[in-house]
Structure 1
Amino acid sequence: MIHLPPRYRGKDDAEEAPLDFADYRTTSLRTPRQPLTLLPQRLTELTGPVLGEERVTATDADLTLANGGEASGQRIVVHGQVLDSDRRPVPNTLLEVWQANSAGRYRHQGDQWPAPLDPFFNGVGRTMTDAQGRYSFTTIKPGAYPWGNHHNAWRPAHIHFSLFGRAFTQRLVTQMYFPDDPLFFQDPIYNSVPDGARQRMISVFDYEATTDNWALGFRFDIVLRGHDATPFEEDDHDD
């Protein structure tokens, strides 16, 4: 017998970022023109993908070592806990991250602004949460970068997070920011999220997670649903 996963609890609509936000120019091009359709869960969505926990190794969570060398920049440890709507730990879920290097440049052919590429930094990593829903990455603090949304537009330093449940339909994507970033005031992605929820995208400096003579620590807990949920990109319908 196949047991369907329980439905998530909904969030308060007042805390949802609008799909079309005038200050974020490209949202006008990709906002749906028709009402969204909720597709039923079928067997393939419920039984896959097979993520293969054994394929995710400890080295996948260290972004500072790649291509036979060590990345440049301020080392940081980003850790936290993935929680459900009742703030219970979510174990054995796949987290993937991607980010710019310390100069604010992605290793991607579409990123051609004249900041240096780091030959020893690929900017991608992954890990699985443990039995208590905890995760940890070692990386470098990303730099800000220009992105052409408006005059003198710069994205604040951030790390992208992707979380998978047990099926492709359960993927959620968000961004983690750093405390007291001076660029928050002009970033439309950050400002598209209502005031009450923005703080949930900002990590907290964690001195206890700071490693002596090695790396600064930041904590970023992720709540999947409910009134304390972390804001996610292109969130689906609440049912």
Structure 2
Amino acid sequence: MKTTGNNIDRRVRYAGEYFQRDRAMHPPAYTPIYKTSVTRSPQKALLSIEQSLSELTGPMFNHNDIGPLDHDMILNYAQDGEPIGQRIIVHGRVMDETGRGVPNTLVEAWQANAGGRYRHKKDTYLAPIDPNFGGCGRCLTDEDGYYFFRTIKPGPYPWRNYINSWRPAHIHLSIFGPSFTQRLITQMYFEGDPLIDICPIVNTIPDKDAIRRLIAPLDLNASIPLDCRAYKFDIVVRGRRSTLFENRLEGN
């Protein structure tokens, strides 16, 4: 897709309105209760670098980039039946800090299956692989920034942070936004999960309101009777009140 000079000007003006991040709300990169942050966190002071034109424009996506079943993780990997688990819809809006919807934004999702296991060669959890569930999908936001996809509710799984640590059920989300500086990778949790309060990763976040915004409430108004429940998860890209990164501060 070609981008005209006027489109570039419009996108630069839009991106130039980003607000500074509120570092008091976001988790510090070095949080020893989340053990892998000790080796992942920066060892030197962070730098502020002026944004270039290439960072303030693109990438651009359209419906030609999306397959007909990309948004439906119940069907997009099914081989000889549908996957096992609770059928759900995840939906919401991708917005900037002023509440404006961000249109034509690629939203990618990946997750464990209903037993808590990822379809990945390095996942050795004893839960079985579901032959009909791939665990990944994607969709585009509409003109108002609205997105939705169907999937199976993921299960929690153990991990070696402490001897008996368990991750809450969650879905990973990648959102591109209208420019590279708006790229966001985050996690969505589910309302009512008791593991959220004791998760070491969640507890790196100092702002309780920020934690609340990572938890998707049940939305029966968007559910399909006798079929699937719905969870609503709004996402804010860039700025002081942006949805949080996965223990990473760069780029936000």
Give yes or no for TM over 0.5.
Answer: yes
1:171 equivalent to 2:183? Answer yes
1:59 equivalent to 2:72? Answer no
1:16 equivalent to 2:26? Answer yes
Tell me how far apart the structure 2 counterparts of residues 188 and 172 of structure 1 sit (CA, whole Å).
Answer: 21
Q: What's 1:91 paired with?
A: 103
Match of 2:162 among 147, 150, 167: 150
- 1:74-153 matches, cutoff 5 A: 74-153=86-165
Moved more, 44-53 or 205-214: 44-53
Q: What residue identity is the alignment partner of 2:249?
A: D
**TM-score for both structures, normalised by structure 1:** 0.92
TM superposition shift of 1:101: 0.1
Secondary structure, counterpart of 1:136 in structure 2: strand
Tell me how far apart the structure 2 counterparts of residues 10 and 58 of structure 1 sit (CA, whole Å).
Answer: 38
RMSD: 1.8
Deviations 1:49-76 (A, max 9, x none): 4434312134100001114231110000
- Would the alpha carbon gap of residues 46 and 185 (structure 1) be closer, same or farther in structure 2, given more than 3 Å must change? closer
Match of 1:162 among 168, 174, 179: 174
- Would the alpha carbon gap of residues 52 and 129 (structure 1) be closer, same or farther in structure 2, given more than 3 Å must change? closer
Q: What's 1:71 paired with?
A: 83
Deviations 1:152-181 (A, max 9, x none): 000000000100024444311110000111
Q: What residue identity is the alignment partner of 2:107?
A: L
Tell me how far apart the structure 2 counterparts of residues 226 and 55 of structure 1 sit (CA, whole Å).
Answer: 28
TM superposition shift of 1:18: 0.9
Any unmatched runs of 5+ in structure 2?
A: none
Q: Structure 1 vs Structure 2: percent identity of aligned residues?
A: 47
Q: What residue identity is the alignment partner of 1:236?
A: E
Any unmatched runs of 5+ in structure 1?
A: none
Moved more, 73-82 or 166-175: 166-175
Secondary structure, counterpart of 2:70 in structure 1: helix
Q: What residue identity is the alignment partner of 1:90?
A: V
Q: What's 2:233 paired with?
A: 220
Tell me how far apart the structure 2 counterparts of residues 224 and 39 of structure 1 sit (CA, whole Å).
Answer: 19
**TM-score for both structures, normalised by structure 2:** 0.88
1:236 equivalent to 2:246? Answer no
Q: What residue identity is the alignment partner of 2:215?
A: I
Q: Contact conserved, 2:62 with 2:104, CA < 8 A, in 1?
A: no
1:6 equivalent to 2:32? Answer no
Q: What residue identity is the alignment partner of 2:139?
A: T
